[in-house]
Every structure is written in structure tokens, then in C-alpha cells.
Amino acid sequence: MKEKPDVLQGTLALMVLKTLDVLGPQHGWGIARRIEQISGDLLAVNQGTLYPLLLRLEHEDSIASEWGASENNRRARFYRLTAAGRKQLQAETREWEQTAAIIARFFKLKAEDLT
Amino acid sequence: MKFLRRSLIRLSNLVTSRTADQRLQDEIAEHLAFQTEENLRAGMSPAEARRQATLKLGAAQAIREGHHAEHSIPFIENLFFDLRYAVRMLLKSPGFSFIAIATMALGIGATTAIYSVIDATLLHPLPYPNPSELVRVQDDLPGVGAQNVGISVPEWRDLESAGIFQSVSVSGTGADVNLTGSAQPERLSYKHATPNYFTVLGVDAQLGRTFDPNDATPGFNLEAVISDGLWRREFGADPHIVGKALRLDNDVYHVVGVMPRGFRDLGSTSEERNTEVWLGAGMAGLPFPPPRRGLRLQSRAVARLKPGLSIAAAQEHLDALVESLKKQYPEEYPSQAAWTVRLTPLSESVVGSVRQSLILLFGAVGLVLLISCVNVANLLLARASVRGRELAVRQAMGAQRTRLIRQLLTESLLLFLLGGIAGCAILFFTRKFLLQLVPESLPHMSDISINWGVLVFALAVSVAAGTIFGLAPAWLMSGVDLIGTLRQEGRGSVGSHRRSRARQILVISELALSLVLMVAAGLLLRSFWDLFKVQPGFNPDRVMAIQTWLPGPNDPSQDIYRTATQESVLLREVLRRSRILPGVEEAAIGDVDALPLGHSNPSPLPLIREGIETMDNQAPVIDSPIVSPEYFHLLGMPLLKGRLFSNQDLEDTPQVAVINQAAARTYWPNQDPLGKRVRLHLDARELLNSAKPAWTTIVGVIADARTESLANVATPQIYRSIYQHPAKSLAIFLRGQLDPSTILEQERSQVQAVDPELPVFRAEALGDVLSSSLSVRRFSMEMVAFFAATALLLAGLGIYGTISYVVNEQRREIAVRLALGAQRGNILKMVLRRGLGLAAAGAGLGVVGALIVSHLMAGLLYGVSSTDLPTFAGVTLALATVALAASYIPALRAMRLDPITTLHSE
């Protein structure tokens, strides 16, 4: 059982939450495809790794799930964001933006220093 | 919060775990279906679409595992799994399991047994609340070489008001008293104590009350507190006992309370711990001497420190107090006596004498435990070669090393725990038998029992041992060389080399440990033997001592045996009647101090020599038994010079005394002691009839005898005649062909024919007294010897196993050698050399360890040095013999190898 690096795990969770936030309830494959589309080839993870993560998020009460009918009339399990999940997403988004901003400033500073 | 929630869900999932997996399977099937459709739309063939979808999803099994890990608690799941597997493995090889568990049961059982003794003696010596606050207060006069000289009433009052203690109580050292009025006059151990005695100990009565701590009656307050045992035995547990009269030595006391069951008086001797009556007294009125600073009571002072005050801090305060008292009363405390007051933890007075023996025992049993553990570790390693293949397969399947170690550790822990449980169970069922082995004279006030603390100890030992000794084999076993092992049972692989080296280290340590134990046992055995063979200086053969006790009422004028003249009438008649008993050849009488090795607390008296006159409380103290003239001959103590007592030395003739060589050497070095005059500070009762004791002349010197303790060559003694000094606690000595079962009755009828009020009790053969004085030594020697034998046996098994293993490993090599024409004798030698090499390494290490240990136990040895060469050499030889014998069987097997079949079979 190979562990994924934590950052990737964390970001993947964030992507899942964001996907559900934007698109509303989705089934597993839908989420996997969405993430694939958005991140392009940069994130070549096996789709399967998504499922344990979904379970974890469900245990953490960030998402909820129930069986439903999919667009082509299959029985599929749909995941949706809960209120707590939305809060978590907002918090994590803020954190990410902060981190990204700091890193960006840091890099900028570096470049100026070198010249 | 989140974490908690997740954990809770996981915990509940442990119980209901199937549905989640099913749900995942459905979802994955779903996912694949979506992805396949997607792929079909992208123009793949159906089969290809399916394959790509599966590839994209990743390994389904890994996902399931990840999902499962997310869903439950893998640690616990794995633990259950490991446990199941471990139990299966144990059942698969019952022989191995049985040996390992039995070995551990022995080690842990024995350790727990000794620990339960230590728990009752060293760890919980005092069954009183907050025992650490209790201290013993001792007055010393180091300037004149006197220790523990007792405390005077004014000093006691100074201590009480010093602000260091919650309260200080003074008590007698325990004595006997006659309980009359029942059918048979009974003799009881009693103790008189200041009324705050029970307050200091912190124990209250179960019925009635204890003494009022503020009671200020100067003499006996005629209140008695009795023990639970006496209450049940003599009074049939009468609920209305409080207020009843109790006749003790013709004085009438009133029972005010009954102590709870299990309350024991403190003390280092069994007599003192069997105290059944406590009498309250202020220590300052009759029959006690007047409360003057210079008059010390023969007493024990026990105090309870103020809460939170350490003994060291209290001692500092006390030293300051002593200094100021010395300045205040310069006559009472002359500087050359250097009066000091010393605080010692009360527990020390209970167990101080046996601590070393018990620690030695614990060390010995700890070594046995270590050896057991090493043996089991060895067994586990031996199994590694058998299980190498299984482990290699599991590693090839991708099991991580830590996972393997965890599983192997679970197995060894299970073994050790089962061993511990078995050990405790055996202990529990044999405890009655085992308790009989513990000598009566071992001081302990809490009962030796298997309580929760002891069980927790056993459990902790099992787990610790299992972890430590399971880890090493697990580590070595899990590091197998994959390819080599799978190709051919690890022959010559790196792993097996490391394993066999580990086994050799284990065996060497085992041999070393058992050598240490055997040396300790050997030295103890020799000490004991020397003590046993020692010439005690008196002849205990065919001598019996029977005790009696003359009542001493609190008002001396009521005492019919007040003077020596009055008492001698009784004594001469008792002796006359004793001599006509069947089988009696000789009879003599002495006081309890004259009982060789039998009296528990001699009360030495200050000795004042003519020409070196000092005050009573600054004189050196000396044991002074009181005996009848026949005593020396009866016990076979030879006279060296001068004369013994005669029947004409009476109360109104000059006082005479006989000393032993030690006293002559100590107090009159290089002089002739004959004719020298001394004064002994007399006991309180005599003080009342003569204000100043007359000079006593030394008329004879006898040879030294070991009457104090067999290990003690000579204590200064000064003997006085019983016809000149009345004594209350008497021992009647009889020599002859005596029947121990009837002699007590016969003697009792003779004594009571003279005075029916006298109790006659405790007939002992001096030979028994002699051997029981050695009982704690004997106990520790026997135990250590037993442990050493066990250790030797285990070490023998260990070396046998290792050499067998080595032979097994070298089968091919030996076969090749034989095929090339090696002599079978050489093969035998080769293998034996391996065994001897191990033994030599073990012995070398062991001798170093043994030297350290024997040096530490020097205090327990007698007549043998801690580096006794014969012991060391003999033990090393014995170990080498065992090692050789253990190597011999596998060596024979190696010699008889058939090279053809061996080489073919591989």
C-alpha cells in the first residue's frame, strides 16, 4: 500500500471539495474526470485513489453521499458538499491563497536579488 | 473533534465491517462502466476500452486496502490477525511451545514468588498510615562507645515540644507478663507505652478506644489495650470486653479497647510482633525511676514527623536542639560522652537486618529469569531456520519488514505472557507449600501474599521480557536473504550466519550468568557450612531450656520475690525438683539473657570500672546475664582462670561476677581482670532497695562462647549470680536424655508444685535454637542454590541446543570431511571444541561478573573470602563439565553422520 505524499493528498481533497462546490452533487467518476480535465496531465493519479479519500471526507463530515440515478440511468453514488465542507473549503482556500501569495513574493524577491 | 469523530466511526466499523467493502465494489464497477463508455465513445474496441478503464483506475486491490485502512483501525485489526496467527503457530508446534512456556513459567513464577516476599518485607514494611513519617529516635553516646542507650523522661518531653514531631511515644522493648485468673496461668508478650503510642502509629481500636494521648498519669494508668488474637482466644470475642478486669502479674488492669485484626506491633523480632497487651504508662511514676535527665529508660522511642518534613531536615532541627540542651545542662551531658540523638526510618528497624539477603535473593532470581528469557530467545532463533522459507515467501509477496517484526513480536509476547500466566497460576496453587519454606524469623509485618501489586509486577515482567527478548530474534529473522532462502533453506546465507552468531552470544551470556549464580550459591554454602560447623563455645547437645516468669507487681512491696534471698528459696526448690525428673542429669537456671542465641533483645547495662568512674549514662554498656552456679558446667563453658560462682555467694556476701575473655580483652587489656571491681547500673526494681549498688568483684574468666550470634565471635559478657540478683524472666536449663514431648508438662508440674501461679512455657532444645538462629541464612542459601541449579540446567539445555544447531548447519561440511577421509574422532573433537570454546568464553565473562557480585555480597559471607579460589575453581569446573556433557550428544551425532545420504539429501 503506497502512501501518497501529504501535499498531494491535501490538494486532492481540496480539488474534490472545490469540484463539488462548483458543480453540485457528483458521482465518483464525475469528480475524477473533472479533476483530470482541470489539472491536465500534471496530476496523473490513478482514479482509484479517489475512493478512500472520498470515504475520509465523508467520515470528516465534509461531504455526504447517497445512491441516486445518473444521467444515463445507472445506479450511482452521488457526493455533495455539506455546510461543514463548505466552511472547510473556504478556510483552506484562504490558506492556499495566502501560501501562494507568500511563495510568489518570495520568488519575486529572489529574482530581483539576483539581478 | 474531527479526528475523534473519525476514530469513533472507525471503532464502530471494526464491528460492522462488510458493507463498506461491498459499497466500494459497487462504486468501482460503476466507475469502470462510466470510463468504458467514455473510452468507447473515443473509438476504442470494447475489450481495449475495458482494459484502459481498468488501467486508469489502478490496482483494485490496493484501492480496496486503502479504502479499508481509511475505514477501520489497521493496528488493531492487524493485532487480531497476528494473534490468531500466533495462536495457530503455537498449536502447530506444541512441543516447542510447551518448552518455551514452561521455561518462562519457571522464570516468572520464581521471580514473582520472591517479589511477593520482598513486597511484604521491604516495600510495605509498616502496615500503618503514612509510614514514611514514622521514625525511630535513638540516643547514642559515641564518646564512650555506647549506642541506643535509651531516653529519659525529660528528654522525651523536650522532643515532644521541639516542634519537629507530631508526637513522640516511648515504649518498653516488649516483655512477658503473666495473665492469671484463667485455668492455666498464661504468659503474654506485653509492652508498656506512653498513652500517645497508638496515635503515633495512627491506628485506632476496632472496639472501645486506645489510650487517651493526653493522659498524664505518671505510672501505669491501669488501662490495657488487647490484641484481636487474645480477645478471640481468651475471651471468646466477647463484645462486652471493654471495662473487664485483666489480672497481669497480680495487678488489675481494665480493658479499654481491642485492636483490629491484623494489627501488629512493630519490632524486629517475632516475640515483639506478637505483643498481645499494651499497657499505658507515663514512664515517670512507680515502678519507673524518678524522671531525671540522667536516668535513661531502657526503651524505644518512636515518633511521627510533622507532615512534609524530611528525615534529613528533622535531623538538622534535632541536632540544633541537642546542642542547646547540652549547653543548658552541662553536668548531664559532659562533652566526652558526645550525646547525640539519631533519627532512622522506622521501616529500617524492621527490615534492616534482612535487606541484603533479600536483595541477593531477588538478584539471584532475576538472573534465573534472564537465563530463562535467553533460553526462549534461543528457541525462537532456532525456529528461524525452520521458518525461514515462510518468512521469505511473505517478504516476496511484499510484506514489509516492520510488519513481519510486528507479527513475530506478537508471537513471542504471546509466549511470554502465557508463560507468565502459567507461572502465576502455579504459584497460586502452591502458595501454601511455598509459604512453609519462608523462615518464621524473617521479619515482615504485612502478610506475604499474592496481591494485585504482585500480579501487576508479574505481568510487567512478562511483557518487558517478551518485548526485549522477542525483538532480537524477530529482527534477525525478518532480515532473511530472500533469494538464498527461497532457493535452498538459507544454507550459508548471511542471515543464518548472523543468527548463529546471535545464538552463540546468547549461550555465552547464559553460561556467564549461571556461573555468577553458582559462585554466589557456592560462597553462601561455604559460609553456612562454616557457621554450621563453628564451635559455638558451648555444648547444646541434649540441653533443653524451659521458660518461666515470676510476676512483678507494680508495687514492689507486694512482690513475694522481691529480693534475691526470697527468690533463691523458690529457685533451689525448682532445681531440686527438676533434677529428679526422669532422664535429667543436670539442671541450672538463668535469666532470659543467659539463653544462648535465644533472647531477642538483650538489655545491656552500663559498666562502671573502679578507677575510671563515670556517670551511669556515659559508661559503656555490657550484656550481663544472671545465672545459677551450675550454668557454666551444664553448657560446657570452660573456666580459664579464677573461680566460678558457688552456692555460698549470696545476697549478703560480697558481690561477685564472672566475665568472658572478650570482656577481659576489651575492658582490662593487658591486665589481670581478677580482683578488679565494677559497678553495673542496676535495673529499676533494684534501685528501690539500695540507693547505691555495691562494688562487684570479678572472680573468674571463662572462655568466649558465641551466645549472641554464631557469626559473632565474642561479645563482652559479665555474668552475675542469680542468688545475688533477683531476675524475673527465667530459663530453666536441663541436660540429659529428655523427651521433648513430655518434658514441658513434667517441668510445669514440678514448678507449679512450688508456686501454682507461675506459667511454664516454651520448651526448646538448644540445638533447635542454634539452627533456627541460622534460618534466614539457610533460607537464602537454599534458595540461591536452587536458583543456581536451575540456571545450570537451563544453561546446559541452551548449550545443547546451540551445538545441535551448529552441527545441523555444518552437516554438509562434516559430510565432505568424512568423505575425504577425516577420522571420526577428529570430528568429535571438532564439535566438542566448539562447545568448550563457548564454555570458556562464558566462564571468563562469568568470573568477572561473579567477582563483582561476590564483592557486593561480602557482608553476607562468613569465614570465606569473597574471592575464594576453591569455590570459583570448583564452579567453573562444574560448568565446563555440564557444557561438555551437553555438547557430547550432538557431537556423537555429528560423528555418526553418513556422508553419502547427507550429501545426497541436499
Interaxial angle between packed helices B60-71 and B18-41, expressed in degrees from 0 to 180 and rounded to the nearest 10? 140
Chain A nearest C-alpha distance from B104 (Å): 37
Residue of higher predicted confidence among B757 and A101 = A101
pLDDT digits (tens, 9 = 90+) for B314-339: 999 899 888 888 888 887 787 777 78
Q: Which cell goes with B240? A: 462486652
Q: Would you state the pLDDT for residue B586?
A: 92
Say how far residue B466 (Cα) sits from the centre of its chain.
27
pLDDT digits (tens, 9 = 90+) for B392-411: 777 777 677 777 788 888 88
Q: What is the mean pLDDT of residues B359-373?
A: 86
Residues 4-33 on A with a CB inside 8 Å of B are 27-30, 32-33
Indicate yes or no: CB of A72 within 8 angstroms of CB of B37: yes
Residue of higher predicted confidence among B489 and B787 = B787
| Residue among B31, B62, B71 whose CB faces A47 most closely | B31
Q: Would you state the pLDDT for residue B633?
A: 92
Indicate yes or no: CB of B66 within 8 angstroms of CB of A1: yes
Chain A nearest C-alpha distance from B409 (Å): 22
Indicate yes or no: CB of A47 within 8 angstroms of CB of B5: no
Residue of higher predicted confidence among B785 and B21 = B785
Q: Would you state the pLDDT for residue B6?
A: 66
Provide DSSP, B837-879: HHHHHHHHHHHHHHHHHHHHTGGG--SS-TT-HHHHHHHHHHH
Task: Provide the pLDDT confidence category of residue B571 given band limits of 50, 70 and 90.
Answer: very high
Interface test with A, best of B31, B40, B55, B56 (most A CBs within 10 A): B31
Indicate yes or no: CB of B35 within 8 angstroms of CB of A29: yes
Size of the A and B interface in Cβ pairs below 8 Å? 80
CB-count exposure of residue B59 (10 Å: 0-12, 13-18, 19+) = middle
Task: Give a three-class secondary structure readout of B753-812.
Answer: HHCCCCCEEEEEEHHHHHHHCCHHHHHHHHHHHHHHHHHHHHHHHHHHHHHHHHHHHCHH
Question: Nearest CA to B589 among B720, B700, B681, B716?
Answer: B720
Sequence-separated (6 or more) residues with CB below 8 Å from residue B324: none
Q: Cis bond leading into B287, ω under 30°?
A: yes
Q: What is the mean pLDDT of residues B235-252?
A: 81
Q: Which cell goes with A115? A: 539581478
**Residues of chain A positioned with their CB less than 8 A from the CB of B5:** 59-61
Sequence-separated (6 or more) residues with CB below 8 Å from residue B44: B52
Chain B nearest C-alpha distance from A100 (Å): 26
Indicate yes or no: CB of A48 within 8 angstroms of CB of B58: yes
- The answer, for B31 touching chain A at a CB cutoff of 8 Å, is yes
Residue B622, beta-bridge partner list: B605
Residues 84-113 on A with a CB inside 8 Å of B are none
Q: What is the mean pLDDT of residues B16-39?
A: 78
The sign of the torsion formed by the CA atoms of B9, B11, B15, B20 equals positive
**Residues of chain B positioned with their CB less than 8 A from the CB of A78:** none
d(CA B238, CA B234): 9
- Conformational region of residue B901, where left means phi above 0, alpha means psi within -120 to 50, and beta covers everything else: alpha
- Chain B CA closest to residue A56: B70
d(CA B344, CA B323): 19
d(CA B215, CA B223): 11
Reduced to 3 states, what is the DSSP secondary structure of residue B640?
A: strand
d(CA B627, CA B827): 75
Sequence-separated (6 or more) residues with CB below 8 Å from residue B894: B807, B810, B814, B827, B828, B830, B831
Indicate yes or no: CB of B24 within 8 angstroms of CB of A51: yes
- Chain B CA closest to residue A50: B63
Task: Provide the pLDDT confidence category of residue B762 given band limits of 50, 70 and 90.
Answer: confident
- The answer, for A43 touching chain B at a CB cutoff of 8 Å, is no
Radius of gyration of the CA atoms of chain B, in A? 38
Q: Would you state the pLDDT for residue B685?
A: 36
- Chain B CA closest to residue A62: B2
Provide DSSP, B876-896: HHHHHHHHHHHHHHHHHHHHT
Residue in the structure block whose three cell numbers are 582462670: B641
Residue B487 has pLDDT above 70, yes or no: no
Reduced to 3 states, what is the DSSP secondary structure of residue B223?
A: strand
Element (H, E) at B362: helix B355-396
Question: What is the number of helices (H) and of strands (E) in chain B?
Answer: 28, 23
Indicate yes or no: CB of A29 within 8 angstroms of CB of B69: no
Element (H, E) at B365: helix B355-396
Radius of gyration of the CA atoms of chain A, in A? 17
Residue B488 has pLDDT above 50, yes or no: yes
Residue B272 has pLDDT above 80, yes or no: no
Q: Which of B16-25, B490-499, B742-751 has the lowest mean pLDDT?
A: B490-499
Q: Would you state the pLDDT for residue B683?
A: 46
d(CA A42, CA B353): 80
**Residues of chain B positioned with their CB less than 8 A from the CB of A72:** 37
Residue of higher predicted confidence among B797 and B313 = B313
Task: Provide the pLDDT confidence category of residue A2 given band limits of 50, 70 and 90.
Answer: very low
Share of chain B above pLDDT 90, in %: 10
CB B198 within 8 A of CB B171: no
Residue in the structure block whose three cell numbers are 533494684: B686
Backbone angles phi, psi at B253, to 5 degrees: -115, 165
- Sort strands B729-736 and B584-591 into parallel, antiparallel or unpaired: antiparallel
pLDDT digits (tens, 9 = 90+) for B190-211: 888 888 898 888 888 888 888 8
Residues 38-57 on B with a CB inside 8 Å of A are 38, 56-57
Residue B601 has pLDDT above 70, yes or no: no
Could you give the maximum distance between any two Cα atoms of chain B, in Å? 139
- The answer, for B813 touching chain A at a CB cutoff of 8 Å, is no
- Sorted by where each starts, the structural domains of chain A and their CATH numbers stand as 9-113 (1.10.10.10)
Share of chain A above pLDDT 70, in %: 80
Q: Would you state the pLDDT for residue B385?
A: 65
Chain A nearest C-alpha distance from B70 (Å): 6
Q: Which of A10-24, B169-183, B758-772 has the lowest mean pLDDT?
A: B169-183
pLDDT digits (tens, 9 = 90+) for B709-753: 777 777 888 999 999 888 877 899 999 998 888 888 889 889 888
- Rounded to the nearest 5 degrees, what angle is found at the Cα of B546, between the Cα atoms of B543 and B549? 150
Indicate yes or no: CB of B70 within 8 angstroms of CB of A27: no
| Residue among A29, A52, A75 whose CB faces B67 most closely | A52
Task: Provide the pLDDT confidence category of residue B689 given band limits of 50, 70 and 90.
Answer: very low
Pairs from A67-75 (Cβ < 8 Å, separation ≥ 24): A68/A25, A68/A27, A70/A27, A70/B34, A72/B37, A74/B30, A74/B33, A74/B34, A75/B26, A75/B30
**Residues of chain A positioned with their CB less than 8 A from the CB of B24:** 51, 55
| Residue among B26, B27, B66 whose CB faces A49 most closely | B66
Q: Would you state the pLDDT for residue B84?
A: 85
| Residue among A27, A33, A46 whose CB faces B58 most closely | A46
Indicate yes or no: CB of A59 within 8 angstroms of CB of B30: no
Interface test with A, best of B12, B13, B24, B27 (most A CBs within 10 A): B27
> How many C-beta atoms lie closer than 10 Å to residue A70's C-beta?
17
Residue of higher predicted confidence among B65 and B718 = B718
Chain A nearest C-alpha distance from B11 (Å): 12
Interface test with B, best of A1, A26, A60 (most B CBs within 10 A): A1
d(CA B904, CA A25): 71
Q: Which cell goes with B605? A: 547495662
Q: What is the mean pLDDT of residues B680-702?
A: 64
- The answer, for B432 touching chain A at a CB cutoff of 8 Å, is no
Question: Nearest CA to B803 among B771, B828, B772, B768?
Answer: B828
Read off the amino acid at residue B803: I
Element (H, E) at B221: strand B220-226
Residue of higher predicted confidence among B84 and B472 = B84
Residue of higher predicted confidence among B449 and B508 = B508
Q: Would you state the pLDDT for residue B577?
A: 93
Chain A nearest C-alpha distance from B8 (Å): 10
The length of chain B is 906
Residue A42 has pLDDT above 50, yes or no: yes
Residue B530 has pLDDT above 80, yes or no: yes
Interface test with B, best of A59, A75, A77 (most B CBs within 10 A): A59
Indicate yes or no: CB of A1 within 8 angstroms of CB of B57: no
**Residues of chain A positioned with their CB less than 8 A from the CB of B34:** 27, 29-30, 70, 74, 76
Q: Cα torsion at B257, B262, B265, B269 (round to 10°)?
A: 150
Q: What is the mean pLDDT of residues B121-130?
A: 79
- The answer, for B2 touching chain A at a CB cutoff of 8 Å, is yes
Sequence-separated (6 or more) residues with CB below 8 Å from residue A98: none
Question: Nearest CA to B165 among B194, B122, B127, B206?
Answer: B194
Residue B588 has pLDDT above 90, yes or no: yes
Indicate yes or no: CB of A56 within 8 angstroms of CB of B70: yes
Chain A nearest C-alpha distance from B67 (Å): 4
- The answer, for A74 touching chain B at a CB cutoff of 8 Å, is yes
**Residues of chain A positioned with their CB less than 8 A from the CB of B58:** 46-49
Residue B353 has pLDDT above 50, yes or no: yes
- The answer, for A61 touching chain B at a CB cutoff of 8 Å, is yes
Residue B264 has pLDDT above 60, yes or no: yes
pLDDT digits (tens, 9 = 90+) for B846-904: 999 999 988 888 888 887 888 888 889 998 998 888 888 888 888 888 888 788 887 77
Q: What is the mean pLDDT of residues B96-116?
A: 87
Q: Would you state the pLDDT for residue B721?
A: 92
Question: Nearest CA to B800 among B375, B385, B367?
Answer: B375
Task: Provide the pLDDT confidence category of residue B643 given band limits of 50, 70 and 90.
Answer: very high
Q: What's chain B's average pLDDT? A: 81
CB-count exposure of residue B26 (10 Å: 0-12, 13-18, 19+) = middle
Q: Would you state the pLDDT for residue B719?
A: 93
Q: Which cell goes with B359? A: 536483595
Q: Would you state the pLDDT for residue B821?
A: 84
Indicate yes or no: CB of B62 within 8 angstroms of CB of A2: yes
| Alpha helices, H only, B119-170 | 153-160
What distances in angstroms separate CA B465 from CA B104, B172, B251, B566, one per listed residue? 9, 49, 62, 70
Q: Would you state the pLDDT for residue B619?
A: 67
Read off the amino acid at residue A102: I
Indicate yes or no: CB of A48 within 8 angstroms of CB of B24: no
**Residues of chain A positioned with their CB less than 8 A from the CB of B37:** 72
Q: Which of B118-132, B304-318, B502-516, B829-843 has the lowest mean pLDDT?
A: B118-132
Could you give the maximum distance between any two Cα atoms of chain A, in Å? 61
Q: Would you state the pLDDT for residue B338?
A: 78
Question: Nearest CA to B862 among B442, B532, B600?
Answer: B532
Residue B382 has pLDDT above 60, yes or no: yes
Indicate yes or no: CB of A77 within 8 angstroms of CB of B27: yes
Q: Going along B570-638, which residue ranges are E strands?
A: 584-591, 605-609, 621-622, 626-627
Q: DSSP state, B600? A: S
Question: Nearest CA to B659 among B618, B704, B711?
Answer: B704
